[in-house]
């Protein structure tokens, strides 16, 4: 193992150069104009896996390809670890808010700034480099390893589970390792205890056939933008509770986890300073980490209506649009939430306009099993890399395929994230800590070693 760790340290600069190449590819899965970049990124990744000693292959899907890396040399009786990550990234807009361009990785203060640096290219790449370190020094891996990298995580992972189901035999494993989340604080190695689910919609309110003069028609024609705002305002009550009837019916109170959270010593000031808000806020009766980890939300992700450019235009808009998503907690189900949301919108939409709801994507919430060999091995691996005790924390974001992986492959998922608070995932100036990138590679290598012998 010493050789493996030494290899990682010796080659850290080269690993970083390669990561930069990976980050330069604008693999934005949501945009059709980046189709060729997605393909180029999959090719790059296949070569990278191959270089690390894996048998790598590209598998076309109805959407973007899946890149698979396999090493089964440990034999049928040895455990198999499946590592999952994604090579697609979020759109980079608004571009003018980036300090340096999103696809020109730049180091400032020990951080790599680039779209996809932490979500999830950096966190995927460090596992590949850990594997390379093993195969180049020991000539083999201590366990069988499968790496699955998809290109559609940011657009709903529609084609991943059909692929996993189809190849369930080939992908059979004893543990699923995912690094697509954050540590609770710098130098606090963290194992993920929970994930929120997601139900994402576009709500369109239609009024007049075309935009109208707000003077000539205003007052007698219901304004779709006003109607949309009034619908949105019904999503919460005055206390910040979600006011859609039935919304909380399936929510677990998770008293045990809330007790653990209370003992974490979560620092709210850090979050307020990091985000720059006048004050934090949210649902009455819950602490900040509870609001993030064990309580569902309704968020407006986008608003568009009428005239939005420079100056003023006295228009009564024909239509108004909101992107609305719900974060879900155990045991909420996205399909049930969709039904409740549709019924609620129908109920509160004013006369004179028509509401249309388009379902974008969704995913179930998840809770980790926090006992057993996998978690224990991971705790030892992380503690050896950071020389600090592991903490167990929730994650406000969603990785919809986590519960699906467990269901289809029948193996437990381990969330071992190397992001950090304030990393700007999905926002301008996304970054990943270079220290976490290197320590993460050490932890990944140690985990393979810890899992040796099952």
Nearer of residues 28 and 381 to its own copies, judged by Cβ: 28
Distance of closest approach, residue 348 Cβ to its own copies, in angstroms: 11
- Which ranges constitute the DSSP H helices of 88-121? none
Nearer of residues 44 and 98 to its own copies, judged by Cβ: 98
Distance of closest approach, residue 302 Cβ to its own copies, in angstroms: 4
Nearest alpha-carbon partner for 190 in 330, 363, 370: 370
- The position carrying tokens 């995913």 is 363
CA distance 419 to 437: 9
The residues facing 395 across adjacent strands are 195
Nearer of residues 51 and 306 to its own copies, judged by Cβ: 306
Contacts of 192 (CB under 8 A, 6+ apart): 181, 368, 392, 393, 394, 395, 415, 416, 417
Distance of closest approach, residue 11 Cβ to its own copies, in angstroms: 31
Distance of closest approach, residue 247 Cβ to its own copies, in angstroms: 14
Report the interhelical angle of 434-450 vs 122-138 (nearest 10°): 50
| Secondary structure (3-state) at 366 | strand
- The position carrying tokens 């060729």 is 36
CA distance 68 to 90: 22
Nearer of residues 140 and 347 to its own copies, judged by Cβ: 347
> 56 near 148, Cβ under 8 Å?
no
Nearer of residues 16 and 305 to its own copies, judged by Cβ: 305
Distance of closest approach, residue 428 Cβ to its own copies, in angstroms: 6
Nearer of residues 159 and 297 to its own copies, judged by Cβ: 297
Burial of 299 (0-12, 13-18, 19+ CB in 10 A): exposed
- The position carrying tokens 């998503």 is 325
Nearer of residues 144 and 325 to its own copies, judged by Cβ: 325
Name the helix (H) or strand (E) containing 67.
strand 66-71
Name the helix (H) or strand (E) containing 113.
strand 111-113
Distance of closest approach, residue 212 Cβ to its own copies, in angstroms: 6
Distance of closest approach, residue 289 Cβ to its own copies, in angstroms: 8
Cα 164 vs. chain centroid, distance in angstroms?
A: 19
Peptide bond into 94 cis (omega under 30): yes
The residues facing 58 across adjacent strands are 67
Nearer of residues 50 and 270 to its own copies, judged by Cβ: 270
Nearest alpha-carbon partner for 364 in 325, 399, 340: 399
Distance of closest approach, residue 248 Cβ to its own copies, in angstroms: 14
> Where would I find the beta strands (DSSP E) of 63-196?
66-71, 80-86, 106-108, 111-113, 144-150, 175-178, 190-195
Distance of closest approach, residue 122 Cβ to its own copies, in angstroms: 16
Distance of closest approach, residue 228 Cβ to its own copies, in angstroms: 7
Nearer of residues 57 and 226 to its own copies, judged by Cβ: 226
Nearer of residues 80 and 325 to its own copies, judged by Cβ: 325
- Which ranges constitute the DSSP H helices of 139-208? 160-166
């Amino acid at each position: 193992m010493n050789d493996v760790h030494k290899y990682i340290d010796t080659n850290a600069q080269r690993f970083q150069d390669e990561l930069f190449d990976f980050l330069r590819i604008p693999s934005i899965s949501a945009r059709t104009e980046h189709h060729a970049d997605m393909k180029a990124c999959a090719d790059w990744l296949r070569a990278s896996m191959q270089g690390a000693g894996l048998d790598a292959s590209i598998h076309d899907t109805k959407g973007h390809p899946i890149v698979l890396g396999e090493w089964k040399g440990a034999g049928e009786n040895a455990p198999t670890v499946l590592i999952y990550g994604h090579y697609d990234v979020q759109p980079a807009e608004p571009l003018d808010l980036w300090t340096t361009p999103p696809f020109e990785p730049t180091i400032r203060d020990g951080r790599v700034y680039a779209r996809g640096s932490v979500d999830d290219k950096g966190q995927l790449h460090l596992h590949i480099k850990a594997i390379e370190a093993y195969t180049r020094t020991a000539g083999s891996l201590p366990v069988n390893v499968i790496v699955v990298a998809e290109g559609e995580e940011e657009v709903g992972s529609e084609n991943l589970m059909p692929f996993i189901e189809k190849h369930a035999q080939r992908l059979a494993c004893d543990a699923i390792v995912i690094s697509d989340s954050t540590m609770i604080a710098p130098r606090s190695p963290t194992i993920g205890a929970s994930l929120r689910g997601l139900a994402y919609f576009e709500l369109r309110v239609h009024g007049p056939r075309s935009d109208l003069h707000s003077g000539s028609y205003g007052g007698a024609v219901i304004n779709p933008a006003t109607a949309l705002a009034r619908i949105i305002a019904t999503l919460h009550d005055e206390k910040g509770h979600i006011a859609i009837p039935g919304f909380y019916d399936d929510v677990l109170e998770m008293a045990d986890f809330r007790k653990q959270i209370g003992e974490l010593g979560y620092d709210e000031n850090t979050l307020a300073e990091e985000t720059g808000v006048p004050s934090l806020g949210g649902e009455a009766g819950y602490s900040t980490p509870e609001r993030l980890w064990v309580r569902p939300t309704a968020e407006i992700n986008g608003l568009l209506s009428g005239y939005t450019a420079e100056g003023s235009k006295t228009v009564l808009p024909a239509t108004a649009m909101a992107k609305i998503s719900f974060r879900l907690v155990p045991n909420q189900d996205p399909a049930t939430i969709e039904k409740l949301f549709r019924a609620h919108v129908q109920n509160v939409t004013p006369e004179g306009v028509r509401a249309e709801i388009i379902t974008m994507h969704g995913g179930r919430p998840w809770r980790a099993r926090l006992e057993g060999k996998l978690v224990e091995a991971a705790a030892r691996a992380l503690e050896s890399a950071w020389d600090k005790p592991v903490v167990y924390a929730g994650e406000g974001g969603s990785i919809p395929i986590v519960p699906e992986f467990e269901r289809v492959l029948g193996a437990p998922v381990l969330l071992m994230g190397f992001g950090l608070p304030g990393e700007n995932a999905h926002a301008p100036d996304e970054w990943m800590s270079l220290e976490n990138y290197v320590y993460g590679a050490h932890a990944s290598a140690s985990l393979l070693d810890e899992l040796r012998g099952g």
